[in-house]
Amino acid sequence: MKRLILLMILLTTHFGYASDFDPNGAWTNKEVYEYWKTGKAEEIGVRPITVGEETYLALTYPIVIDSYGTSVQKPFFLTVGRPWILLDLVQEKNNRYILKIKSKIKENIIGELYVNMVSANELYFEQKTINESFFKELDLSLLDFGKENMYVLCDKVK
């Protein structure tokens, strides 16, 4: 009986942890997304972007996290102002990930960001690495930080 209970706890814990939110996908600023949904945003373009097996309707200037990679494309982190190579995506806590990235422009610049998942469709970024050269390069990415700067998952193509 004890073995059965331990097995149930192990399975519940494992699958509960594995079913946490996934930061992979095409993301956009929440305010931009809400404005686009009104139908009045003629200046916002939409294009399909595939991440893993999902295709998203990415709005103008998306943030893309793709830890899957393919034989053609390495894992990447795309921001408005800069492309990055995604070196690692590690789950630190239930809904918090560490994004280890390397600049495609200046290859000696490597750093880490926190990705905080609020729900399956919302996240925000926080700075983790304390390195001046990384922050200068990251500043050119035009990435907003903090809970007040939410990003939402772009709509999926059905």
Domain ranges for the chain, please list them.
22-153
Q: What is the pLDDT of residues 75-105, one digit of tens each?
A: 999 998 889 999 999 999 889 999 999 999 9
- The pLDDT, as a whole number, for residue 107 is 85
- The pLDDT, as a whole number, for residue 81 is 86
Where helices occur in 19-131 by DSSP H, the ranges are 30-37
> Percent of the chain scored above 90 by pLDDT?
68
pLDDT band at 3 (very low <50, low <70, confident <90, very high): low
> What does the buried/exposed string (b/e) look like for 111-120 if buried means 16 or more CB atoms within 10 Å of the residue's CB?
bbbbbbbeee
